[in-house]
Amino acid sequence: MAEAVSSALAQGRALAVEAGTGTGKTLAYLVPAARSGLKVIVSTATKTLQEQLADKDVPLLRALGIEARFAFLKGRQNYLCLLRKEQFDKAPTFERRDEAPLYGKLDEWAQRTATGDRAELADLPEGFSAFREVFSTAETCTGQKCPHYDECFVFKMRKVASEADVVVVNHHLFFADLALRTSSAGDAGAAVLPRYDAVIFDEAHAVEEVATENFGVQLGSFRVGELGRDAARVLAGRAELSAARDLAARLGTVGRAFFEAASRCRPAAKGRPWGGERSAGESDRWPIPPGSLDPAEPEREALIEVLRALAAQISGSADEEVNLLERRCSTLAAELSLFGRRSAGALRSDIEYDEGEAPPQERTDVVLWGESRLGHLFLHASPLDVASILQDRLYDRIGPVVFTSATLAVDGSLDFFARRVGLADAEGPLFPLDVKVLPSPFDYRQNAALYVPRTMPDPLEDGFAEAVADELRALLTVTSGRAFVLFTSLRNMRKVHDLLAPELPWQVLLQGERPKAQLLRSFREKPSVLFASQSFWEGVDVPGEALSLVVIDKLPFASPQEPLVQARIERLRSQGEDPFDAFQVPQAALALKQGFGRLIRHAQDRGIVAVLDSRLSRRAYGKRLLQSLPPARLLRSVEEARAFFSAPHPTAAM
């Protein structure tokens, strides 16, 4: 693999390589990157891998005498903003009363931190509202005009990155930066990353999803409220801008009116006001077909009118904070234009169009959809396909691009991945491309078993959760707990947890009850059963006996009710392809492989992966899914699982 990466970097080619767990893929790309003489970006999907690179792999390279300068850079929202904290401290407000004592911990940390990195606050809840108020945002950053510029954590890290040979980032930061620097409406000067010659994507299976998010537009109800609060603060005491202050005071009212009206346009909402309880059958996400937001048009136009009037009132100010407000108002008004009857203007994303071109809500390459999350309504405009965007914005602009992950291949082929990220089409590669599938050195036949019960109800049938609980009662005794129980839905996770938690003799942990870092720390300390969902399917590393059983409740097919999935299915169908065979099964195969990958992390690890979905053995596509998994022994009963786990196990050779 190192030779392939070195060749790709030297020749300016694209490389896609699946390297199974244990192959040493991080060193296989870090060494060539460090020796290439190029400015290389290494991008990962998870913080876990970033921390591994920083704490283990890069120090090893230095110990081996490989001289290269490395920098680790996160998105600015991960860094404390000294100006925003100073402003927040003057009038602190919290969403919940119990948050005020927590702020003391943040305040104490702010006095002593050398990095300003939010990761140092792992014990604070992920949803702590003060995080949004005191950490950096592009919208509120005044750059060199900030009184705290010389102490700024963001700009300190950028300086280190500009001087490094290899810069390690995450996918979200990389694609947010790429969208900004390559958009016709963006500001390339505001790009976060230094100029680079090559990119290496580790955990590349996540590239399509993250690129889709960052090349689209997300318009959240909370943004209007934040803008109104920031405007009131910045404009306070400015007599010459009294008219602007009046407009700013109206933002909260007109913004809430629009999002309440938009929420009533939601399918199955039946006029329910924004913020009310969802019915049991109502999805968190829903498509926005043409015309469906028309009833909210008066409120949308009223909000745009206030935003544009406010921008006009404060235009031309010599004050940088006021100029930032003007830009925020103009950007928000332009984004709102995407969701109306008549659209105008261009955004920083790929959702751009010229005079006379069909507006986004009438285009087939843009998906408009809504989402209810954390008490807020979000409107999205997402590209249906990022293949052409990556071709234009990335592959045509730099030479070498390397993609690697333990989960890229389906049926031993990288064709599905290459087509999804624009490296190839149905006819073959579109760029000079090398592909490799490198197996893991681990002995899966000796160390791992796949348990698929002979009889289970269909996942859509009543009683499925109860059947999962019954299987778990037996399986957990085989490994004395020490299990991840992974669910494809939060509803099933909570239901099975509630059925079993009172009777299990081991420590029981539930995703959401505590921060992820705390849950993992508790899991490692003593025999435990962790009930979790998607966030624990990847980027979690628990080697050794602490994790001996991974249970997956059902096959991880993406819901066809998800707006983007639905639109992609319809696109494939219109092109004469079978979307289930061409898209849904390969996607499920990769997700299942990710879940399986939580089990065996080191050569000596041993355990069982249980998939409690009978479709894996009774449907034709099950064979295809099985062929994409590591070659583990197949078990069909709990008795077989008990015999496998209790059998003497020779220590695997390293």
* Other Cβ atoms closer than 10 A to 462: 8
Among candidate residues 444, 451, 446, 443, the one with its CA nearest the CA of residue 640: 451
| CB distance 433 to 15 below 8 Å | yes
SS3 of residue 140 by DSSP: helix
Predicted pLDDT of residue 501: 96
Predicted pLDDT of residue 362: 52
* CA–CA separation, 8 and 119 (whole Å): 34
Among candidate residues 33, 40, 42, the one with its CA nearest the CA of residue 67: 33
From residue 555, alpha-carbon distances to 343, 410, 454, 590 in Å are 40, 15, 15, 11
Predicted pLDDT of residue 278: 43
3-state secondary structure string, 267-332? CCCCCCCCCCCCCCCCCCEEECCCCCCHHHHHHHHHHHHHHHHHHHHHCCCCCHHHHHHHHHHHHH
| Structure-block tokens of residue 200 | 């290496």
Strands 549-552 and 70-72: unpaired
SS3 of residue 606 by DSSP: coil
* CA–CA separation, 145 and 287 (whole Å): 42
| CB distance 454 to 637 below 8 Å | yes
Among candidate residues 220, 233, 248, 258, the one with its CA nearest the CA of residue 307: 248
* CA–CA separation, 342 and 392 (whole Å): 27
From residue 323, alpha-carbon distances to 142, 143, 244, 316, 577 in Å are 9, 12, 13, 7, 50
Question: What is the 8-class DSSP label of residue 349?
Answer: S
Residue ranges of the chain whose pLDDT lies below 50 = 188, 269-283, 342-357, 652-654
Q: What is the per-residue DSSP string for 32-55?
A: HHHHSSS-EEEEES-HHHHHHIII
Q: What ranges in 143-277 are assigned the alpha helix state H?
A: 153-162, 171-182, 207-214, 221-235, 242-264
Cα 227 to its chain centre, rounded Å, is 25
Question: What is the 8-class DSSP label of residue 78?
Answer: G
- Cα–Cα–Cα angle for 177, 180, 181, rounded to 5 degrees: 85
Q: What ranges in 404-463 are assigned the alpha helix state H?
A: 415-420, 444-447
Predicted pLDDT of residue 180: 83
Q: What are phi and psi of 623, to 5 degrees?
A: -60, -40
Among candidate residues 297, 292, 287, the one with its CA nearest the CA of residue 380: 287
- Enumerate domains of the chain plus CATH numbers: 2-69+164-214+387-438 (3.40.50.300), 77-150 (no CATH), 217-383 (1.10.275.40), 444-646 (3.40.50.300)
| CB distance 303 to 256 below 8 Å | no
* CA–CA separation, 217 and 223 (whole Å): 13
Cα 189 to its chain centre, rounded Å, is 26
| CB distance 202 to 28 below 8 Å | no
From residue 397, alpha-carbon distances to 6, 13, 292, 480 in Å are 20, 12, 39, 54
The amino acid that residue 358 corresponds to is A
The amino acid that residue 360 corresponds to is P
> Residues in the chain, how many?
654
From residue 637, alpha-carbon distances to 449, 452, 463, 506, 552 in Å are 12, 8, 20, 23, 16
Dihedral-angle region of residue 200 (phi above 0 means left; psi in -120 to 50 means alpha; beta otherwise): beta
| CB distance 381 to 368 below 8 Å | yes
| CB distance 398 to 371 below 8 Å | no
Q: Where are the beta strands (DSSP E) in 385-479?
A: 401-405, 424-425, 428-429, 433-438, 448-451
Predicted pLDDT of residue 388: 94
- What residues pair up with 376 in beta bridges, in sequence order? 373
| CB distance 485 to 529 below 8 Å | yes
SS3 of residue 149 by DSSP: helix
